Structure 1
Amino acid sequence: MARFHQLRVTAVDQLTDDSVALTFDVPPALREEYRYDAGQHLAVRRFVDGTEIRRTYSICAPAPDPAAPEGPRTLRVGVRLVEGGAFSTYAMKEVVVGDELEVMTPAGRFTLEPAPGRYAAVVGGSGITPVLSIVTTLLAREPDATFCLIRSDRTAASTMFLEEVADLKDRWPDRFQLVTVLSREEQQSGLDSGRLDEERLGSLLPALLSVGEVSAWFLCGPFGLVQGAERTLRGLGVPRQRIHEEIFHVDDGLATPAVPATAPSHSTVTVTLDGRSGTWPVRDGESLLDTVLRNRADAPYACKGGVCGTCRAFRVSGEVRMDRNFALEPEETDAGYVLACQSHPATDTVELDFDR
C-alpha cells in the first residue's frame, strides 16, 4: 500500500519561468519502499489551515536498476505552475533546500519494462516528465531499442527539461529521434509553428516512422492532445493495447463527465484495505472513496479527478457507476477495476478491494 513519509528537499532547480524540479533525499531505511518503475508518479501533500492538499507529480529521473540491492537514493519530480494552484505556487515560491515534505511512495501504471523494439511518444508541456524517465531508462538498459519523441510546447523558453532531452540526442544519436513543435513561436529549422492537432499528426507520424512497427506508444499531456493523438493512431491502424495514456490536465469544456449516479437509498460499501476490512453506509451523493476516507484516513488517493489512478480498486461484488475515467485502461475496467474517487453505488451493497 502507498504510504507517506517525510522526505528532505535537496535541490530546487528552476527549469523555466513557470516550472521547477524538486529533488528529495531518500534515507536508507526507505529506499526499498520508494523503488519505482520508469513513468510512475508521487503524490505530495501539505496542510493549509487544517485543509489537506494533495498533488501528483511524475518522477523524471531514470528508474533504479531492479537488480540493485537497494532502491533510489534520490527522487526528482517536475512541477509546473498552475494558475491559482495551491501546491504548485507553494513549490515555485516557497520550497527551499532543507524543507521536509510529505511524499507518497510511487504509484501509477504509465510504465514501460525495457525490451527490444521501437517505441514512440507524443507529449505536450509537462507531459514530458514521465516520458523522460521512460526513454532514459529504456535507452540505458536496452541496446536494441529505439525511441521517437514528438513533443509540443508553447515556446522554447517554456519547454521543460530542454537540456536533458538534448543530452539524450547527444548520447544516443542513432537510437533517439526528437521532433519539437512550438505552438506560439517560429523555429529556425524543423516544423512550422502551430498546434499539434489530429490533422497534423495524421500526416506527421507516417512521415517520421513506420507507425505499425512501433511496439508501444506513450501519450501524455493535456486531455485534448492525448485524445487527439489516440484517435490519430487508431485511424492509422494501431491496436488499442499498444497505446498508453496519461492525462495531466482535463479541460472540463472538452471532457464532459457522465451524468452523476443516483445511489440506492441505503447503500453500503465493504472495503478491504491494507489487510483490514470494514463496512460503512454511503451518504447521498458522495463517492465510494469519500465514504472510505470518513472511516479510513489511509485510503489511497491523490487527485480525486479520475486522472491519476491512485485510488484504483477491484470491484469484488455489486455494481458501481463511474462519473469519469482518465486513468484506467479498457482491459483494467473489463477486469473489474474502478476508480473509487469517481465511483457511486448502483446496488444496495458494493465490495471493493484496494489490495489487489
Structure 2
Amino acid sequence: MAAARHGAFHRLTVAAVDRLTDDSVALTLSVPAELREVYRHAPGQHLTLRRSGPEGTEVRRTYSICTPAPAPDGPGPARLRVGVRLVEGGEFSTYAHKEIAAGDELDVMVPAGRFVLDPAAAPAGAHYAAVVGGSGVTPLLSIVASVLGARPDTRFCLIRSDRTAASTMFLDEVADLKDRYPERFQLVTVLSREEQEAGLPSGRLDRERLTALLPALLPVDAVAGWFLCGPFGLVQGAERALRELGVDRGRIHEEIFHVDGTPATAAPATGSVSASHSRVTARLDGRSGSWPVQDGESLLDAVLRNRADAPYACKGGVCGTCRAFLVRGEVRMDRNFALEEEETEAGFVLACQSHAVSEEVEIDFDR
C-alpha cells in the first residue's frame, strides 16, 4: 500500500467514549481494514482531529495515541485511543466531552510526531525515564507499553505529576503496566494539591525539586533517554534539572502540551524584505508550487491558500505537524516549542511560525 500522504484525513468511527475523570475522556476509534497500514504509528505519535467550525472554518486539535504501537511485522492497528482533557473555553475539548458519542464519525489525520521511541533501536539493557504532567502521560502509555513489551531487557521509570488523585488520567492503564512489568516498570506519583498516604510529599515538580529528586530515584547518567511531556513550565523545569545533573541534550526528548501566555516573538532579522515581495516554493507529497507571500503571512498560510492539504494542527508552534525543511532562503521563526535543537540546526522550521526574510524561500514538507 502507498505511504500515507502528509496531512491526509480519513473518516473514522468512534467505537467508545470512556470517562476517565470529571474533566477527561478517552476516545476509541475504529480503523477499517483498508486504512490500517496508513494508521500504523510509532510509540508516542499523535493524531489530529478535525471538525467544521462556524462560517466554513475548521477546528483542529492534536491528541497523543495511548495504545501500544503495532509490531513492525504485524498488521496495522484495528483501534486507536486518545485522551482528551477539557480545556476552559476549548472548542474541540468541549465538543468531545458533551457531544461525541459511540457511532459518530470523526475526521482524523494520519499519525504524526517525532516524540517517539523505537523499541528496535533501544540499546541492550537500556534504562529509560520520563517526567510528565497531567495529560502528558498519554504518549508515555504507548511508549512504555511498546518498549517493555517488545524488549524484555529494558526498564522504564515514569515520574508523573497530577493535581489530585481524582484528576489523574489513565490510572487503571498505568496500574496495569505496573502489574504486567513489576520488575522493569518503576512508577513515581506526585500530587501538587493533595497529600498522599504514602509516597512523595505534595508539591510542584519544579527544577529545584527535580534536581534533588531524580538522583535519589535512579542512576541519572545511565538513562539512555529522557522523555519530558506536559505543560511548558514542567518540561522546561525538568530539562534544566537534567542539564544541571550533567545529562547530554541529545538524550532529552520533549513534547509540550500547553503553553501559558504568549512568549514574545522574535525580532525581524536585519535586512528583511517586505513579505509582499517574497515568494515561497513548497514541495508536498512529491508536488511543488511557487506562490507570493502576502503581507504579515506565515509560510504555512501562504501555502494553504494554494494547497489546502498542507499539514498543520495547532498553528501555535507547539505540535510540530507543519515541520518542513528549509531548502533555500531565510526565514524568521517566531515561536518553537516542537523542534529539538538538532532539528533546527539541520535546517528544519515550523511553517506556521516562519515568515519570509529573503525574497525567495523554498521549503520541503516531504523531508
TM-score normalised according to structure 1 size: 0.98
Give the C-alpha shift of residue 91 in structure 1: 0.3
Pair 155,263 (structure 1): closer, same or farther in 2 beyond 3 Å: farther
Tell me, in whole angstroms, the C-alpha distance in 2 between the residues paired with 1:260 and 1:90: 38
Tell me, in whole angstroms, the C-alpha distance in 1 between the residues paired with 2:156 and 2:71: 20
Tell me, in whole angstroms, the C-alpha distance in 2 between the residues paired with 1:220 and 1:118: 18
Partner of 1:267: 278
Tell me, in whole angstroms, the C-alpha distance in 2 between the residues paired with 1:201 and 1:225: 10
Give the C-alpha shift of residue 258 in structure 1: 2.2
Tell me, in whole angstroms, the C-alpha distance in 2 between the residues paired with 1:258 and 1:226: 21
Report if the CA contact (8 A) 1:263-1:285 is conserved.
Answer: no
Pair 29,286 (structure 1): closer, same or farther in 2 beyond 3 Å: same
Spell out, residue by residue over 1:4-60, the C-alpha distance to the aligned partner (whole angstroms, 9 max, x if none): 000000000000000000011000110000000000000000002221000000000
Which deviates further from its counterpart, 217-226 or 324-333? Answer: 324-333
Give the C-alpha shift of residue 252 in structure 1: 1.9
The counterpart of 1:332, out of the listed 343, 354, 358, is 343
Paired residue type of 1:24? L
Tell me, in whole angstroms, the C-alpha distance in 1 between the residues paired with 2:83 and 2:319: 15
Paired residue type of 2:91? A
Pair 256,225 (structure 1): closer, same or farther in 2 beyond 3 Å: farther
- The answer to whether 1:7 aligns with 2:12 is yes
The counterpart of 2:33, out of the listed 20, 25, 28, is 28
Give the C-alpha shift of residue 260 in structure 1: 5.7
Pair 95,343 (structure 1): closer, same or farther in 2 beyond 3 Å: same
Partner of 2:154: 145
Paired residue type of 1:168? L
The counterpart of 2:238, out of the listed 225, 229, 232, is 229
**Backbone CA RMSD of aligned residues:** 1.0
Spell out, residue by residue over 1:115-152, the C-alpha distance to the aligned partner (whole angstroms, 9 max, x if none): 23000000000000001110011111101100001000
Report if the CA contact (8 A) 1:263-1:284 is conserved.
Answer: no
The counterpart of 2:21, out of the listed 7, 16, 24, is 16
Pair 166,260 (structure 1): closer, same or farther in 2 beyond 3 Å: farther
Tell me, in whole angstroms, the C-alpha distance in 2 between the residues paired with 1:257 and 1:226: 20
Paired residues for 1:25-174 under 5 Å: 25-49=30-54, 50-68=56-74, 70-114=75-119, 115=122, 116=124, 117-174=126-183
SS at match of 1:138: helix
Give the % identical residues. 73
The counterpart of 2:317, out of the listed 299, 306, 314, is 306
Paired residue type of 2:334? D
- The answer to whether 1:196 aligns with 2:202 is no
Tell me, in whole angstroms, the C-alpha distance in 1 between the residues paired with 2:190 and 2:273: 46
Give the C-alpha shift of residue 277 in structure 1: 1.1
Paired residue type of 1:72? P
Tell me, in whole angstroms, the C-alpha distance in 1 between the residues paired with 2:264 and 2:133: 21
Spell out, residue by residue over 1:158-199, the C-alpha distance to the aligned partner (whole angstroms, 9 max, x if none): 000011111111111110111101000000000111111111
Tell me, in whole angstroms, the C-alpha distance in 2 between the residues paired with 1:256 and 1:184: 30
Paired residue type of 2:221? G
- The answer to whether 1:288 aligns with 2:312 is no
Give the C-alpha shift of residue 300 in structure 1: 0.3
- The answer to whether 1:341 aligns with 2:346 is no
Pair 260,46 (structure 1): closer, same or farther in 2 beyond 3 Å: farther
Paired residue type of 2:265? P
The counterpart of 1:256, out of the listed 264, 279, 282, is 264
- The answer to whether 1:209 aligns with 2:215 is no
Paired residue type of 2:35? L
Give the C-alpha shift of residue 93 in structure 1: 0.6
Spell out, residue by residue over 1:206-229, the C-alpha distance to the aligned partner (whole angstroms, 9 max, x if none): 000010000000000000000010
TM-score normalised according to structure 2 size: 0.95
SS at match of 2:235: helix
The counterpart of 1:277, out of the listed 288, 308, 313, is 288
Q: How many positions carry a matched residue from both structures?
A: 354
Give the C-alpha shift of residue 259 in structure 1: 3.2
The counterpart of 1:315, out of the listed 323, 326, 335, is 326
Tell me, in whole angstroms, the C-alpha distance in 2 between the residues paired with 1:331 and 1:193: 35
Tell me, in whole angstroms, the C-alpha distance in 2 between the residues paired with 1:271 and 1:202: 44
Tell me, in whole angstroms, the C-alpha distance in 2 between the residues paired with 1:316 and 1:196: 40
Report if the CA contact (8 A) 1:263-1:344 is conserved.
Answer: no
Which consecutive unaligned segments of at least 5 residues does structure 1 have?
none
SS at match of 1:72: coil
